[in-house]
Amino acid sequence: MEKALINSVEDRKVSFASDLEHYADLLCDWIAKQEDAMIDCLEALVNVDSNSYDKAGVDAAGKLMESWLVEDGITCSWHSLENSGDVLEARVGFDESNANAPAIFVMGHRDTVFPKGTLETRCFSRDGMKAFGPGVADMKSGLVLNCFVLKGLQHLLKTSDIQQLPFPVIGLFTGDEEIGSPEGRYVIRDRVAGARAVFNAEPGRISGNVVSARKGGASFEIQVTGKAAHSGVNHADGISAIGALAQLVTSLHALTDYDKGITTNVGLISGGMSSNTVAPTATARLDLRFITLEQGEEVKAKINAIIETPVIEGAIATIKILSEFQPFEASMSDVVLAHYQRQANSVGFSVEGEFTGGCSDAGFTSSMGVPTLCGTGPVGAKMHTDDEYCLLDTFVPRTQAVAKSILLL
């Protein structure tokens, strides 16, 4: 009898899996008809200024997304933040039967690097199936993709005889990723803890691939204080903050190790009063990239040691971290990447996982032990430039691939 019961349970599992394949086909059929709607939504979203430091603009972009979701009956809520754009949360497929099941998340950020007012001279445009505009690839196209994944799942629940989704699905859309997620990271960590998987819709690579690993990174501000003096009258009485900073930069850059994937870059420097004054102050911004958490801690310790070691008598240097991203290590994407590849193949395209030196919120979720895949948005290129673009003909298949991956995971 026990064997018969086991067989009965296994039969139901096979039947449910077979049913899900059928529902996945229905879901993909619906998505295939949404290309024009997706492009319309992309145009509307790109034409909302949403620089990271423009909270009102970032929130306006979120309100627009919310309007698309609630019109289909999707439940939305907000996590209020003090300085950054509020976090929009959208929930699909919750009921009593799966309320305690680990959710699957689709994620993205609404902020862009482009200054407020950019739209006055450069807004959404297209040339055939190539779209242009501030943030069109990074990552407003990914936001639209995720919205249509959620809308598609909601449509499936409302129009088919599927009783429930295997797992609840949550969209989490932040507003400060481009500046290191200083506030959004805490919402991500709180909500995603214990999740089944995360699909982060940063732009797909120009190769068509997704991102299966990313470097971690940190941004620092270095301040050096010296002593002012007239460079012609009493030069010897001065302590050059710029001179001290120059020596520090050389030591910091020496920490770069290409073989290990570690890079340090002082990309901004300012200081001094005038050419005939020994500089009393100097400031620099340092960018650090690393592949593993252990590397990051090791190099940060070396950076602190350099800053704490006097290079010119009387010059005082201090350093503080402005932002930090955890690395997205490949081991946290292996299973979900293989699953996504199968679904991508089923809708007509092949894809591999790529490593990139750029950071993203995927580092936060993967560092919590949540299987994560990044770069699942439409394909784009030249991010953070006036020439940034998105390939519109990748919208439908990549939306289908994410939606199927969620339904069949």
Q: Which region holds residue 286: left if phi is over 0, alpha if psi is between -120 and 50, else beta? A: beta
User: Which of these is catalytic: 177, 183, 202, 388?
Assistant: 177
Percent of the chain with pLDDT over 90: 92
pLDDT class of 203 with cuts at 50, 70, 90: very high
pLDDT class of 16 with cuts at 50, 70, 90: low
- Region 245-249 average pLDDT: 98
pLDDT of residue 291: 96
Statement: residue 165 has pLDDT above 80:
yes
Q: What would you report as the CA-atom Rg of the chain, rounded to the nearest whole angstrom? A: 25
Statement: residue 401 has pLDDT above 70:
yes
pLDDT class of 101 with cuts at 50, 70, 90: confident
- Region 57-79 average pLDDT: 98
Coil, strand or helix: which one is 187? helix
pLDDT class of 158 with cuts at 50, 70, 90: very high
pTM of the predicted protein model: 0.89
Measured CA distances, 200 to 72, 128, 173, 343, 346 (Å) = 22, 27, 10, 16, 21
How far, rounded to the nearest angstrom, does the alpha carbon of residue 273 sit from its chain's CA centroid?
A: 39
pLDDT of residue 3: 43
Of 160-164, 357-361, 365-369, the poorest mean pLDDT is in 160-164
Percent of the chain with pLDDT over 70: 96
pLDDT of residue 1: 38
DSSP 322-346: EEEE--B-GGGTHHHHHHHHHHHHH
Domains of the chain listed by start with CATH number: 16-214+327-408 (3.40.630.10), 216-325 (3.30.70.360)
Statement: residue 6 has pLDDT above 70:
no
pLDDT of residue 395: 98
Which one-letter amino acid corresponds to residue 398?
R
Statement: residue 7 has pLDDT above 70:
no
> Which residue matches tokens 């006055």?
120
Cβ atoms of 119 and 57 closer than 8 Å: no
User: Which of these is catalytic: 86, 111, 138, 388?
Assistant: 111
111 is catalytic: yes
Statement: residue 50 has pLDDT above 90:
yes
